[in-house]
Amino acid sequence: MPGKRIAVIGAGVSGLSAIKSCLEEGLEPTCFEGSSDIGGLWRYEEKPEGGRPSIYKSATSNTSKEMTAYSDYPFPDHHPNYLHNSKIMEYLRMYTKHFHLMKYIQFLSKVCSVRKRSDFSSTGQWDVVVEAEGKQESYVFDGILVCTGLYTDPFLPFENFPGIKRFKGQYIHSLEYKRPDKFQEKRIIVIGIGNSGVDLAVELSHVAEQVFLSTRRGAWIWNRVWDYGMPTDTILFTRFNSILKKFYPTSLMNRWAENKLNARFNHDIYGLQPQHRFLSHQATFSDDLPNHIISGRVLMKPNVREFTETSVIFEDGTKENIDVIIFATGYTFSFPFLENNSTILDSHHSMFKFVFPPQLEKATLAFIGILQPVGATIPTSELQSRWAVRVFKGLNQLPSVSDMVADITKKRKKNEKEFLNNPRDTRRVQYVDYMDEIASEIGVKPNLFSLFLWDPKLAMEVFFGPCTPYQYRLQGPGKWAQAREAILTQRERIIKPLRTRILSSGQHPSSAPLWLKSICAALLLFILTIIIIKG
Ligand SMILES: Cc1cc2nc3c(=O)[nH]c(=O)nc-3n(C[C@H](O)[C@H](O)[C@H](O)COP(=O)(O)OP(=O)(O)OC[C@H]3O[C@@H](n4cnc5c(N)ncnc54)[C@H](O)[C@@H]3O)c2cc1C
Ligand SMILES: *[C@@H]1O[C@H](CO)[C@@H](O)[C@H](O)[C@H]1NC(C)=O
Ligand SMILES: *[C@@H]1O[C@H](CO)[C@@H](O)[C@H](O)[C@H]1NC(C)=O
Ligand SMILES: *[C@@H]1O[C@H](CO)[C@@H](O)[C@H](O)[C@H]1NC(C)=O
C-alpha cells in the first residue's frame, strides 16, 4: 500500500516537525499554511494579521536553546542561550532546509473545513476544504495533524472592566503591540502579569512617562539567569529534580522556591506577592521587573475597578490618569475548521494526553502543540507528532474509549487540584513527566538503568544534567546516532556563546577529581537501584 496521505494544518514550529515525523514513518504529508511563510508565532511582522499569532519586535524566548531544540537538531553552538525571535526563525529555516521540508508546504492556503467522510467509520478518511487565491478546493486525506497553535485569539474580558467603552484613550491587546516608539511620554496601564504583560511593562517604561502594572492575583517572578549565570531551565528541569519532586512534600518544595525568589527581592514589599503558592500557578519570567519597580518606572497596582474617560480607578480606590491601556489578558483558542457539532471535540476540548480526541471511531486526527508545557514547546510537540504518526500507521494502539475518557478525567481532576482552578490552566503539563509519558508510548524513553551499567558517563549527564530533547533519540524508533554526542557536548554549547572575551586558561576553575566523580556515580547507582526496586 502506498504511504497514507496526511494533512498537516499550520507551518509553525509544531507543523514543521509534524511534516518531518510523517516523512520519518513513510507517510505522505501535505502542509497547508494560511500565511506566506513558515514560523507561526515566531515570525515577526510589522502588522498583526488576523488568524495568525503575533509577537513584539523584542520578543525573546523564556526557554533556553538546549531545552528548546528539536531532538535531532541542536541549535548552532554560537547561538545565545535565550533566543530573540529572529534567531529562532533562523534556526527554523535551517531545520526546514536540512530536512527538505519546504516542498511539502502550500503557503497562502487556509484550511476552511475538515469533515469526516461518509464512510469514515470504515476508512477513517477526511474531506478537507482549502482556500487558496480566493478559490476553494477539496481534498481527501487519511489522517490530519492539527498544528494551529494556542495563541491566535485574544482573550478580552471586557465585562470585568466597567467603563471601558467610555475610555477616550487608546486600548489594545498585547498581541497588537509591536514596538515602544509610539508610546513616548504616555501614561500607560498594562493589565495582567503573565510573561507578555511583564515584558511589555518593562519595555514601555524606558520611554513612557509612567507605567502601571495591574494584577489581580500577583505572581512569583523567576529569572532566566539562574545561579552562577546558567539558564534556569537547564538547572531546574532535570530527571534528578523530577524524581525529588515525587518524594518531597509539595509544601517543602513551595517553601524552597518561594524563599529562593524572595531572597532576590521581597515579593511582598514589591507588591507582587500572590495568594497562591509557587507550584499552583504559572510563574512569570522576568529578570528586569524588580529593577524597574525599584527605579519607580513601573508601579504595581491592584485590580481595576473601572475606567472613566481619561483615567483608571483601582480596587483600592486610587485613581490615575492614563493615555493607553494594554490588555495582556491572554488568549483563547478554537478550531473553526472542525465541524460544528460535537462529534470530534467536546466543549472542554478533551484530548487523550492532549493529542487524540477520544470519541473518534478511527484515530486518524491528532492535535499537536495544543498544550502548555512548563518548559519548551518545540520538543513537546515534536514528540507528540512522533507518537501520532505511529498511531496513524497502526504501529501503536490507543486504549478503549472508556479508558481514554477515564484518563482525561483523572488528569483534569489532578490539574484542578494542583493548579488554581483556572480554565485556561487545564492544559498545563510538567515538562519531564509529560515527555516521559509520551516517550513511553513510542518506546523512546531512555533506559537509565542500562545506561548506568553500560555508559555511566552518559547516564550521569542524562540523570543530573538538563533533560534535553536529544535524550529521546537515544533508543527506539527514530534513534539518532549523534544523540549521545549531542548530550555530552550540551554544556559546551551553553558556555560557547558567553565566551566572547576569552580569558587565559590559568583562570579556569579545575574540575572535580576523578575519584570524587567515581564515588558520586557509585552512590547514584545505589540510589537508583533503590528507586527502581521501590517503584
Ligand atoms: C509571547 C509568547 C512567548 C512564548 N515564548 C515561548 C518560549 O520562549 N519557548 C517556548 O517553547 N514556547 C514559547 N511560547 C509558546 C509558543 O506558542 C510556541 O513556542 C510555538 O510558537 C507554538 O507553535 P505552533 O506551531 O504550535 O503554533 P503557531 O506558532 O501559532 O503556528 C500556527 C500556524 O498555523 C497557521 N494556521 C492557523 N490556522 C490555520 C488554518 N485554518 N489553515 C492554515 N494554516 C493555519 C498559522 O498561520 C500559523 O503559522 C510563547 C508564546 C507566546 C505567545
Ligand atoms: C460552523 O457554523 C458557523 C455558523 O454557525 C459557520 O460560519 C461555519 O462555517 C461552520 N463551520 C463548519 C466547518 O462547517
Ligand atoms: C452535525 O453533524 C451531522 C452529520 O454528521 C449533520 O447532519 C448535522 O446537521 C450537524 N449538526 C450541526 C448542529 O451542525
Ligand atoms: C514562556 O512564555 C509563554 C508566553 O507567555 C508562556 O506560555 C510559557 O509558559 C512560558 N514558558 C515557561 C517555561 O514559563
**pLDDT, tens digit (0-9, with 9 covering 90-100), for 499-509:** 999 877 655 55
Q: Give me the mean pLDDT over the 99-126 stretch.
A: 96
Name all residues whose Cβ lies below 6 A of ligand 3. Answer: 340-341, 343
Q: Whole-model pTM?
A: 0.92
- What CA–CA distance (Å, rounded) separates 109 from 397? 32
What is the per-residue pLDDT for 532? Answer: 64
- Per the structure block, which three cell numbers stand in for 430? 510538567
**Residue spans in the chain of domains classed CATH 3.50.50.60:** 5-152+333-438, 155-331
Nearest to 152 by CA among 340, 334, 372, 377: 334
Average pLDDT, the chain: 93
Summarize pLDDT for 243-286 with one digit per residue, the tens.
998 898 989 999 999 999 999 999 999 999 998 898 888 889 99
Tell me what pLDDT residue 182 has. Answer: 94
CA 112 to ligand 2 centroid distance, Å = 9
Span 415-466, pLDDT tens digits: 887 776 566 667 889 999 999 999 999 999 999 999 999 999 999 999 999 9
d(CA 32, CA 29): 10
Residue 449 CB contacts under 8 Å (≥ 6 apart), including other chains? 528, 532
Nearest ligand 2 atom to the CA of 339 is: 13
CATH level 2 (architecture), domain 5-152+333-438: 3-Layer(bba) Sandwich (3.50)
pLDDT digits (tens, 9 = 90+) for 19-52: 999 999 999 999 999 999 999 999 999 987 777 8
Q: H/E element holding 113?
A: strand 109-116
pLDDT at residue 414, as a whole number: 85
Q: Which of 8, 41, 68, 137 to mutate to test the pocket of ligand 1 (most atoms within 8 A of CB)?
A: 41
* Pocket lining: 33 vs ligand 1, CB cutoff 6 Å: yes
More confident call, 483 vs 280: 483
Residue 82 CB less than 6 A away from ligand 2 = no
Rounded distance between C-alpha atoms, residue 164 and residue 159, angstroms: 9
> Which residues surround ligand 4 with Cβ inside 6 Å?
62-63, 194-196, 282, 285, 372, 374-375
In ligand 1, the atom with minimum distance to the C-alpha of 336 is 41
Q: Which CATH code of 3.30.1490.190, 3.40.630.30, 3.50.50.60, 3.40.50.300 fits the domain covering 155-331? A: 3.50.50.60
Strand partners, 225: 231
CA 65 to CA 376: how far, in whole Å? 9
Res. 341: pLDDT tops 80: no
For ligand 2, say whether the CB of 339 is within 6 Å of any of its atoms.
yes
